[in-house]
Amino acid sequence: MTLRDGTTSMPPERRGFFDVRVPMFRPLWRRIAATAVTAGWAALELTAGNPGFALLFAAAAAVLFYQFFLDWRPPEG
């Protein structure tokens, strides 16, 4: 998201709840780990017979995959 002043990252007080563009996720291995753990948890819930929670975690993994790998712009700062 590009702001009026040309920056691509919002200040912390204006970030949305699902905005994961924070300095903690700058290293690639952390983005891979967060996505893999979330997708793995979805698989665990599915094998345990909880399709609702499996769908919830699969959706979260899909959002992380999109934001981390398809639309990733490193945070400023």
pLDDT tens digits along 43-74: 999 999 999 999 999 999 999 999 999 988 88
What single DSSP character describes residue 75?
Answer: P
Q: Is 77 within the bounds of a domain? A: no
Give the number of domains in the chain.
1
Which SS3 state, helix, strand or coil, does residue 48 take? coil
Domain limits for position 53? 23-70
Residue 3 confidence (pLDDT) above 60: no
Q: Is 2 within the bounds of a domain? A: no
User: Which pair of structure tokens corresponds to residue 64?
Assistant: 């992380």
pTM recorded for the entire structure: 0.76
